[in-house]
Structure 1
Amino acid sequence: MAFRKRREALRSILAGSACTRPGSVYDATSIRIAWDLGFELGMFGGSVASLAVLGDPDIALITLTELAEQMRRMSRAAELPVLVDADHGYGNALNVRRTIEELETAGAAGLTIEDTLLPQAFGQSGTQLIPLEEGVGKVKAALAARRDASLVVIGRTGAVSITSLDDAIARARAYQATGVDALFFTGIKTRTELEAIAAATTLPIVLGGAPEDMSDPLYLASQRVRIALQGHAPFAAATQAVYETLKALREGLPPKALKGLASSELTGRVTREAEVRARSRDFLGLRN
């Protein structure tokens, strides 16, 4: 299948012994830059997807169609394997099945399904979890929906910081029993928590954020953490750069006086200008 090589690359990361730091990607340009820089994996987070597509915060407003279309654009732009945050699967277990179908055909190398209650319930200010049995049903639906067996499906829980460590372990073990390829944890704050989870499970671990004293890749690898996220700084940096550039122009600075702009050489590399010129010559008879 067209995207199997990317999915097998993600599986190799999970089956390895090292901890990989993925690059945060959110559009065709960012994924090409990550690919050119040699990242082994891209992470397409739900929060950055909402920001890039809608300009809205991460409150479950983005739709499956919008997420899948953005993933499709990235898949076309670069061959980098991408792990997609599929949130709660956009509904119940049957919706999860549709989520798998759409993201698989869009080229995702893998995706995560979490047990957070989304969207936020009426009158509830704190984050809530769905019942364990419902979470298991969602994960089973995700696994059953795969048409390409190499697609990576990861069960995710934030129970450590929402309910308790014991609940997180119980959920992780239940998701592990369904046959998922890895376990994704958010909200882990201490090495004690991570070590307890690693001791209670056997699958590769994906870690969504951690305190500074847990940033050592060798330590994380020793606890079976194979992927450790490092936030979405690229989008934040891009936002700041666009803001400062537009602000300077609005205040009257001439375009030629702007600083920090991408060179024509870098822009040409990112847009694959040489390849486009070659195609124009070969297929359109143009002599550039």
Structure 2
Amino acid sequence: MQRASHHQLRAQLRELLAAKSCYFTASVFDPMAARIAADLGFEVGILGGSVASLQVLAAPDFALITLSEFVEQATRIGRVSRLPVIADADHGYGNALNVMRTVVELERAGIAALTIEDTLLPAQFGRKSTDLISIDEGVGKIRAALEARVDPDFAIIARTHAGVLDTAEVIRRALAYQEAGADAICLVGVEDFAHLQQIAAPLGIPLMLVTYGNPKLNDKERLASLGVRIVVNGHAAYFAAIKATYDCLREQRGVDASDLTASQLALKYSLPDEYREWASEYMNVKE
């Protein structure tokens, strides 16, 4: 596999965003996964925030991983990657100034693009974990990200949650982030094609969807026709690795087979109930 420069990989991602096709990401959670994905012909990879939290901390996706920990993993991947990788940078690890630092560090790590979401993270005392920041603050984060980048091909993707907002509000946010200069809009929580079509109609920049395998959105050509260029179906490869590790070690110890799925094993060993109990006890966090 021929090595490409970080700038060349970013240019490749730009070509994907400008194309008329829809591409599905490979979950690249470590350097070996990145090499495998490129060798198998994937056009783009994704380093998920939830996966990084599991891989680095064995912790659930509760905004516990720090920027330095996330960047360390991104750097390991960027060092060997032969395909462009998008980093799920959550909320940018703080306010707009923290977002600037996040952009600097991930660009240096060799990442091709990042998503910045408008979720209120980490969860605030007495608030829901799905609460969002204001549009104005979200716009400020996107503008700050654009100011901080050095390579103009490093893509800044604004993410919002279509599953917790009414459609009109999703459109308002997406249009505001487009106007701020975002290179693409990432949507999570889109229900079906009717929902997607309403959101996509007024937008003029590419879309990225996090679908988690939603069967109502399983039509690559139709997705492409609505401006969707990148789709994240989930991180099955990572969970398969957890399952394989468990089964290998279990067999070595002579332990009977478990009927737990890969996702259930991840839940078991990341101890989410402990974190939820602490959040309830010390933060009064509402689900």
TM norm structure 2: 0.85
- CA–CA distance in structure 2, aligned partners of residues 74 and 211 of structure 1: 28
1:2 deviation in Å? 4.0
Q: SS of the residue aligned with 2:23?
A: coil
Aligned to 1:260: none
- CA–CA distance in structure 1, aligned partners of residues 128 and 139 of structure 2: 25
Aligned to 1:73: 76
Aligned to 1:133: 136
**2:236 pairs with 230, 233, 237, which one?**
233
Aligned to 1:203: 205
Q: SS of the residue aligned with 2:46?
A: strand
Aligned to 1:111: 114
Q: SS of the residue aligned with 2:64?
A: coil
- CA–CA distance in structure 1, aligned partners of residues 104 and 5 of structure 2: 15
Q: Which runs of 5+ in 1 are unaligned?
A: 254-288
1:211 deviation in Å? 2.3
Q: Which runs of 5+ in 2 are unaligned?
A: 257-287
**2:64 pairs with 44, 61, 78, which one?**
61
Aligned to 1:26: 29
Aligned to 2:266: none
Aligned to 1:8: 11
- CA–CA distance in structure 2, aligned partners of residues 46 and 252 of structure 1: 32
Aligned to 1:275: none
Q: Deviations over 1:181-206 (max 9, x none)?
A: 11000010121110011101111000
Is the CA contact (8 Å cut-off) linking 2:184 and 2:207 kept in structure 1? Answer: yes
| Amino acid in structure 2 at the alignment position of 1:44 | L
1:252 deviation in Å? 7.6
**2:85 pairs with 82, 86, 95, which one?**
82
- Greater C-alpha radius of gyration: 1
Percent identity between the aligned chains?
48
Aligned residue pair count: 252
- CA–CA distance in structure 1, aligned partners of residues 230 and 192 of structure 2: 17
What RMSD over aligned residues (CA atoms) do the two structures have, in Å?
A: 1.4
- CA–CA distance in structure 2, aligned partners of residues 83 and 147 of structure 1: 17
- CA–CA distance in structure 2, aligned partners of residues 234 and 149 of structure 1: 31
Aligned to 1:178: 180
TM norm structure 1: 0.85
Q: SS of the residue aligned with 1:111?
A: strand
Is the CA contact (8 Å cut-off) linking 2:53 and 2:60 kept in structure 1? Answer: yes
Aligned to 2:104: 101
- CA–CA distance in structure 1, aligned partners of residues 226 and 38 of structure 2: 28
- CA–CA distance in structure 2, aligned partners of residues 164 and 252 of structure 1: 49
| Amino acid in structure 1 at the alignment position of 2:197 | E
| Amino acid in structure 2 at the alignment position of 1:205 | L
| Amino acid in structure 2 at the alignment position of 1:183 | I
1:241 deviation in Å? 0.4
Q: SS of the residue aligned with 1:32?
A: helix
